[in-house]
Amino acid sequence: MELLPTRWLGRRRFAARAGLVTVSLVLLCSGCVLPARSSAAFEGKAVESAKTAAGAVATARLCARQASSGKLTAAFASVTMADAEKDANDAQSSFDSIQPPDHRSDRLRDRLDSILSKAVSALARLRIDARRGHLAQLEHRARALQTIAKRLEQFQQAHS
Amino acid sequence: MKKALQFTLGILTAIGGMIDIGNLAGNTEAGARFGMGLAWVIAVGLVAIVLYANMAGRVAAISHRAAFDVIRERLGPRVAMVNLGASAALTLLTLVAEVAGVGLVLQLATGLNYRLWIPIVALALWAILWWSKFETMERSYALVGLTLLVLLAAVWALHPDSGDLLHRSVHPAIPHGEDLKSYFYLAIAQFGAMVTPYQVLFFSSGAVEEGWTARDLAVERVNVFIGFPVGAMLAMALMVLGAVVLQPRGITVSHLSQVGLPVTLALGRSGLWLVLVGMFAAVFGAAAEATLSTAYSICQYFGWQWGKFVRRPEAPRFWSLLVFLLFIVTTVALIFDPIKVALFSIVFSAAAVPLTFFPILVVANDPAYVGEKTNGPVTNVLAVILLVLMVIVSLATVPLLVATRGNG
């Protein structure tokens, strides 16, 4: 005896497939990290992460310069710094969650991870100062980001 | 004075539609990544929205009936239901982004987390939709939103090389580190941000709210031909600021704070306050526009009494729907990242646009609704070309979304 008519099974299969496609689309689009299958793909993801972090560092430097010259309010500066820190942090955690496929990728991972950690830490420092309203100090503090920005740029150039 | 304020419906529609949270992030992002390489999309989008808003406004002024009312009658309930489903879902998504977007603007002004602002914003939105007159609401947001002209002042103050900007606009190129997929993804996002269905639905319903008749066709044209170009000019200014200030520094836009930085660089703290006020008015106006637009469409489809000009006991479904929509939207806005929701909504807007615009084209050619004022041959040729473009864009949207993983 058929428990469910064939057309219902067909519909259920269709619904299941549609659900699977939808879930895959949502996962893909929500920024879920996909595994890197080769060292070239891993290198590509490393460059992407370095680029995101470099953007966050550049945002913080631009913000720090303006805040120190009185062009920004403390609230705006602190939100901007927090956003920059979040971007760099997200770039680092996304990159760290990718499984490196070989030893060469392990070395690449260590190199970038060290720069990203310094970036996140420097950005956190700036965010703390901005929240405390120490806007005049921000430009001086942001000098630490100059070296980090240069290293991120060199990393991108070397691996793209 | 009253005459001078007659263009505010167009300004509100255009500022709310073209400078909402999606545009603020999307246009600046396009400039930051591709310089002026996507300026042509703003131009094409402007032609499309002017053409179709003009048709929708004309239909409303002559037939005294708004878009969905006519669409349902002309195309039948089934086709209109598909249309309604797509545009209402999309507008709700946009509304989530707008409500959270107002929270983000307030966060930039006060430093308090935007999620704390969301319920307050929703409450304020409800109060204004509930108590203020349509005209008062429209004029307040349109006029305060004009403080966004500070974007043009910022461009002026930065003294960009206009020859170079023009050259980059007419010779688009893919910068190093970017690819064609991302270019077209952002092109679609730009187009979707310019040509949102809710703008046209709101404009047409607003015309009925304001009681336009065939005699008001001149006012309707002034609204379309002033309002939308103003919106497009501001969208272009955002792109220029992204191209001039953010692109050379390698900054890509993922937060609203980054949109304000080029303005403050050019104009300092006074520029910051002006841009924050302008953003607030534009995004809040867009939220009001999207809430009303969704309620209008649903009520018009089902033949329920609708409109802010109707007393609450006479249109209970319309007024209850406004409250229900705001409740749902507030809940969703507290959960998701507003900038991501905004970018998704403008991309899907590009996909849903033909469903809303095709029926308008049909109705604008039907003498039963517009009498002798049917489209001329030039308008029809342009409208069909743009509709074909919209269909191509809508077919390409999902594959590009997957290929770029929604990050452009």
- Extents of the domains making up chain B: 4-404
Cβ atoms B397, B347 nearer than 8 A: yes
Going by pLDDT thresholds of 50, 70 and 90, the confidence category of residue A16 is low
The single-letter DSSP state of residue B364 is T
Long-range CB contact pairs, A20-27, < 8 A, 24+: A25/B398, A25/B401, A25/B402
For residue B20, the 8-state DSSP code is S
Question: What residues of chain A lie within 8 A of the CB of B107, using their CB?
Answer: 79
Mean pLDDT, residues B244-267: 95
User: How distant is the Cα of B108 from the closest Cα of chain A, in angstroms?
Assistant: 5
Domain boundaries, chain A: 1-32, 36-159
Whether the Cβ atoms of residue B32 and residue B186 lie closer than 8 Å to each other = no
Q: Do B257 and A83 touch (CB under 8 A)?
A: yes
**pLDDT of A75 higher than 90:** yes
- Which has more pLDDT, B256 or B22? B256
* pTM, entire model: 0.87
Q: What percent of chain B has pLDDT over 70?
A: 93
**What DSSP string describes A64-107?**
HHHHHTT-S-HHHHHHHHHHHHHHHHHHHHHHHTSPP-SHHHHH
Q: Which is nearest to A31 in space by CA: B219, B408, B168, B194? A: B408
Taking each helix axis as running N to C, give the angle between helix A39-68 and helix A103-131, from 0 to 180 degrees, rounded to the nearest 10.
20
Which numeric CATH code is attached to A36-159? 1.20.120.660
Taking only the tens place, the pLDDT of each residue in B33-51 is: 999 999 999 999 999 999 9
- B111-125 tens-digit pLDDT: 999 999 999 999 999
Per-residue pLDDT band for B138 (boundaries 50, 70, 90) equals: confident
Mean local confidence (pLDDT), B96-125: 94
User: A27 pLDDT band (50/70/90 cuts)?
Assistant: very low
Which of chain A's residues have a Cβ under 8 Å away from the Cβ of B108? 75-76, 79
Q: How far apart are CA B141 and CA B144, in angstroms?
A: 5
Q: How confident is the model at residue B249 (pLDDT cuts 50, 70, 90)?
A: very high
Inter-chain touch B111–A79, beta carbons under 8 Å: yes
* pLDDT for position A3: 43
Residue B25 has pLDDT above 70, yes or no: yes
**Closest alpha carbon within chain A to B264:** A71
Q: Give the CATH H-level superfamily of domain B4-404.
A: Amino acid/polyamine transporter I (1.20.1740.10)
ipTM of the complex: 0.86
B338 neighbors B128 (Cβ within 8 angstroms): no
Residues of chain A positioned with their CB less than 8 A from the CB of B407: 31
